[in-house]
Structure 1
Amino acid sequence: MNIISKRVGLGALAAITFAASFGAAGSGAVAQDQAEQDTLETANNEIQSTAEGSEPAIRFVMNEVVQDVPEEPVEHAVQPSDAASLRELVGSIDTHGEMNREMMCLAQAVYFESRGEPLDGQLAVARVIINRSESDSFPDDYCSVVTQRSQFSFVRGGRIPTPNHASEAWDRAVAIARIAHRDLWESPADDALYFHATHVRPRWAGRMTTRATINRHIFYR
């Protein structure tokens, strides 16, 4: 039933009934009865017409309308493994699937910054980038962390060079990036935010807490 039409019809009924009653004193009870009868028939006809035939002007929705939102593309699925070592886990990762921009930046950083390091050293570098993206002190995505000014020496003018995608080193970097992103393997430098090569000693290192030394890199928090 159209609620607005019903209210208008009943309002008209009340108003005309009042007017008819008010005029009854001068025109007699017969005129009053006739006016009331006419008004009642008009209101009934209006309500009946609305209920049976016409489309309601306003629809009242009692329940929430929930619209499905398409999921964002998910990075190449990597399932946790029962691998006995990081090397075994790296060997089980599919490195040929598509990568989004953020994962590409992470893998490139691993490749250029640590491809000559053992796998746990490469994983530690990836963890530093991920930790920075989650820290309020650094940008909030992998690419912005990697290209932040004066942070990684392989970045030139805010641009990351193109790695050799046909190399085994690149495949390992991709695997390490996916393992770190999915948190599939624990790193000794798990919460580190900084690192440097062992042959240098930057002044800021004295203010930090050492988390791990892995081959030629020292990691700090």
Structure 2
Amino acid sequence: MSKQLRIASALSIAATLITTLFSTASSGAAAQDPVPSHRLEAMIPAKEAPGSSAIISYSADAAFPVDERVLPQDEATAASLDDTAPPVATSLADLVDATPAPEQLSDELRCLAGAIYFEAKSETMAGQLAVGRVIVARARSGRFPASYCGVVYQPSQFSFVRGHSIPAVNPASRDWIKATKIAMIADHGSWKSPVEGAMFFHAARVSPSWGKVRMARIDNHIFYR
């Protein structure tokens, strides 16, 4: 065989081998499982839905964590953040101490505090709270005016009321500040009085024939329901 024929034959064999190798490689790639389309989609951040509170959201099959949506606060957490919620205390005295004195009083709380102040300012905190809770109970009973001022100004109920008004007080006095705190506690119902549910009371020095159920005496008042 001539030198030219040997070279040509070698080139032909090499070409055949190269063609076979490329064909085999292509067949092997095609035999492998293709990348699932959902896996490809998982790598692409999903568009945020209108109004969504999520910062970023990914498909469920993503290999990385999905950012959680911002959840609304539960009721307990909301209550703990409520600035108007009364403080927690183990005694009435502690609760009064922990209750901040209001910078301003609504007309309703002023009437409630006025009744506590003029009826029981010289009595214990329990006695003052008992008076306040009677005002609250009346206003919510449906049997008396439906407001604290309505209850206090009702004719012939409280002797300190003069001409449909409450006497002036010194707003900086310790007794008045205490009365306003107890009024807030009575209004919230954050501490129950020893005569909870009482609707009537009178000074211990008098003995009216009321025919009502007596509950207890606290300081200088006797309470009935």
| TM-score range relative to shorter protein | 0.5 to 0.7
**Larger RCO (CA within 8 A; separation ≥ 6):** 1
What is the CA–CA distance in structure 2 between the aligned matches of 1:217 and 1:197, rounded to whole Å? 5
Q: CA deviation at 1:77?
A: 4.9
Q: Percent identity?
A: 47
**What displacement does 1:96 show?**
3.2
1:216 aligns with 2:216: no
Alignment of 1:144 onto 2:150? yes
Query: Paired residue for 2:10?
Result: none
Q: Is this contact kept in 2: 1:78–1:93, CA < 8 A?
A: no
Offset at residue 198 of structure 1 (A): 0.8
Contact 2:101 2:180 in 1 (8 A): yes
Task: Read off the aligned partner of 2:222 and give its amino acid letter.
Answer: I
Match of 1:129 in 2: 135
Q: Distance in 2 between matches of 1:163 and 1:211?
A: 31
How many residues are treated as equivalent by the alignment?
Answer: 144
TM-score when normalising by structure 1: 0.62
* Equivalent residues of 1:111, 1:163 under 8 A apart: no
Work out which of the residue numbers 179, 194, 200 in structure 1 matches 2:200: 194
Give 1 or 2 for the bigger CA radius of gyration.
2
Question: Which has a greater percent of helix?
Answer: 1
Alignment check: 8 A CA contact 2:216 2:224 kept: yes
Match of residue 80 from structure 1 = 86
Q: Taking structure 2 as the reference length, what is the TM-score of the superposition?
A: 0.61
How many Å separate the matches in 2 of 1:208 and 1:164? 36
RMSD, aligned CA = 1.4
Is the CA contact 1:197–1:216 (under 8 Å) kept in the aligned structure 2? yes
Deviating beyond 3 angstroms after TM superposition, the runs of 4 or more aligned structure 1 residues are none
CA positional deviation for 1:177: 0.2
Q: Secondary structure of 1:137's partner?
A: coil
- Of 89, 93, 106, the residue aligned with 2:95 is 89
CA positional deviation for 1:199? 0.7
Matching residue of 2:171: 165
Distance between the aligned counterparts of 2:224 and 2:192, measured in 1?
16
Deviations 1:29-79 (A, max 9, x none): xxxxxxxxxxxxxxxxxxxxxxxxxxxxxxxxxxxxxxxxxxxxxxx9542
- Aligned equivalents of 1:200, 1:157: Cα separation in 2: 24
**1:153 paired to 2:153:** no
Question: What runs of 5+ residues in structure 1 fail to find an aligned partner?
Answer: 1-75
